[in-house]
């Protein structure tokens, strides 16, 4: 084993820098792109100042819901600072949650709850106002419903004694449970599937693209060394070429899995063994595919040319760039055509697992017959 490692280190000495670059490329580029996309999203948000004059539990909950709106960058300020920032065009508009906001809602009063300020350069004011008004109207409707429920409980002398907050909380739970504002559309004689928000360019989709490319380029040593005239000298050594071949392949695979483990730790907040198993199977699928292509190539130029084509094909078929959920429902076999799809679903593909085993058996027999 020591001899094999020494031989490998001698051969990799002149390519150490490029090998290191290909190893860390998926992690580095994925991190850079995620940070860039995060900055773009933040820059695309509309800066809006919120002044909380009431400073009550209900007003704080209202502001927290505003902060969950994707295109709004909510900034909590005092009234004086907010109006100064508006005058300097540092924010788009100012919305003030008036005093007694919670008290008025609890008393079923829905007028003059929020005060708004804008300028002739507040280009997104009307869109922001509609979103904030809609949320305020929702809070007012919940308050009115809570009052009606309390009236009914008192009218019929019910044994149930619910507070205002308990009624509102129960109403919100029922909204989430029964999806009162969600409607699924379907044509005649066609089944309806629940709507689902597709995430475009997920971090693991980006990583899968770069991982495929790096795996192919890391394994181009197979072509360089297998077709070199010096390879016939393995007949005069104690170690067979097949043993050297698969030990070297395992050497590269261990380094790849080490970087993959680090990537998983950085991109995910919680470690789940089955998710990491999906990453391992994906990496093994990439290695098996690159291995299968490499053993049939004579020149690295053609190998490097076909690598981007295979990578783009597999990432598109796997839904890394374009959501394919509707196509998978229509053609279920499409989900097995790329290991990327299984990775994005945190699943283990049975077909690709079989492919890994078959490629290993095929390459072992092929390389064993080379000097037989």
pLDDT, greater one: 320 or 164: 320
Provide the sign of the torsion angle of the four alpha carbons 267, 269, 273, 274, taken in this order: negative
Percent of the chain at pLDDT > 70 equals: 80
At 41, which helix (H) or strand (E)?
helix 16-43
Question: What value does the mean pLDDT take over residues 348-358?
Answer: 92
**What is the reported pLDDT for 140?**
78
Q: Which residue has the higher pLDDT, 90 or 176?
A: 90
pLDDT in the model for residue 195:
47
CA angle 123, 127, 129 (to 5 degrees): 105
Domain range list for the chain: 2-37+199-368, 46-163
**Count of other CB atoms within 10 angstroms of residue 307:** 20
**Mean pLDDT value across the chain:** 81
> For residues 80 and 107, is the Cβ–Cβ distance under 8 A?
no
Whole-number pLDDT of residue 181: 54
CATH 3.40.1710.10 fits 46-163, yes or no: yes
Q: Which two tokens stand for residue 345?
A: 């679903």
At residue 3, does pLDDT exceed 70?
no
pLDDT, tens digit (0-9, with 9 covering 90-100), for 287-299: 999 999 998 888 8
Maximum pairwise Cα distance, the chain: 100
Across the range 228-256, mean pLDDT stands at: 73
Q: What digits encode the pLDDT tens for the residues 23-82?
A: 999 999 999 998 888 777 667 788 899 999 988 888 888 888 888 887 888 899 999 999
Please compute, for residue 189, the number of CA atoms within 13 A of its CA located in the half-sphere on the CB side: 0
pLDDT bucket at 209, cuts 50 / 70 / 90? very high
Confidence at residue 226, expressed as pLDDT on a 0 to 100 scale: 72
Cβ-count burial 276-288 (b if 16+ within 10 Å, e if not): bebbbbbbbbbbb
From edge to edge, which strands make up the β-sheet containing 46-52? Answer: 72-76, 46-52, 93-97, 114-118
- Distance CA(72)–CA(42), nearest Å, equals 9
The per-residue pLDDT for range 265-289, each reduced to its tens digit, is 999 888 899 999 999 999 999 999 9
Greater pLDDT, 354 or 19? 354
- DSSP secondary structure letter of residue 275: H
């Amino acid at each position: 084993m020591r001899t094999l490692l020494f031989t490998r280190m001698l051969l990799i000495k002149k390519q150490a820098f490029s090998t290191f670059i290909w190893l860390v490329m998926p992690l580095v580029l994925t991190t850079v792109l995620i940070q860039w996309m995060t900055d773009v999203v933040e820059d695309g948000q509309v800066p809006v100042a919120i002044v909380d004059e009431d400073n009550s539990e209900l007003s704080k909950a209202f502001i927290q819901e505003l902060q969950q709106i994707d295109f709004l960058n909510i900034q909590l300020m005092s009234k004086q600072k907010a109006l100064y920032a508006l005058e300097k065009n540092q924010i788009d508009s100012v919305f003030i949650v008036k005093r007694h906001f919670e008290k008025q809602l609890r008393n079923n009063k829905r007028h003059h709850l929020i005060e708004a300020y804008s300028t002739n350069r507040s280009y997104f004011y009307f869109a922001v106002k509609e979103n904030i008004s809609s949320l305020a109207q929702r809070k007012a409707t919940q308050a009115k419903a809570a009052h009606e429920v309390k009236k009914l409980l008192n009218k019929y002398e019910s044994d149930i004694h619910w507070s205002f907050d308990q009624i509102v909380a129960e109403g919100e739970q029922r909204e989430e449970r029964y999806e009162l504002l969600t409607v699924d559309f379907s044509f005649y004689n066609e089944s309806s599937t629940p709507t689902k928000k597709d995430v475009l360019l997920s971090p693991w989709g980006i990583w899968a693209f770069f991982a495929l490319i790096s795996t192919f380029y890391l394994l181009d040593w197979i072509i360089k060394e297998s077709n070199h005239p010096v390879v016939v000298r393995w007949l005069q050594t104690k170690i067979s070429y097949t043993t050297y071949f698969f030990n070297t392949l395992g050497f590269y695979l261990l380094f790849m899995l080490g970087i993959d483990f680090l990537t998983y730790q950085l991109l995910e907040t919680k470690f789940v063994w089955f998710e990491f198993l999906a990453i391992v199977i994906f990496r093994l699928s990439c290695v098996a595919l690159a291995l299968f292509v490499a053993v049939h190539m004579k020149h690295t130029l053609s190998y490097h040319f076909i690598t981007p084509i295979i990578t783009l094909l597999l990432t598109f078929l796997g839904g890394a760039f374009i959501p394919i959920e509707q196509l998978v429902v229509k053609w279920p076999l499409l989900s097995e055509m790329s290991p990327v799809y299984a990775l994005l679903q945190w699943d283990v593909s049975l077909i690709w697992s079989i492919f890994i085993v078959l490629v290993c058996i095929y390459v072992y027999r092929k390389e064993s017959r080379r000097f037989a």
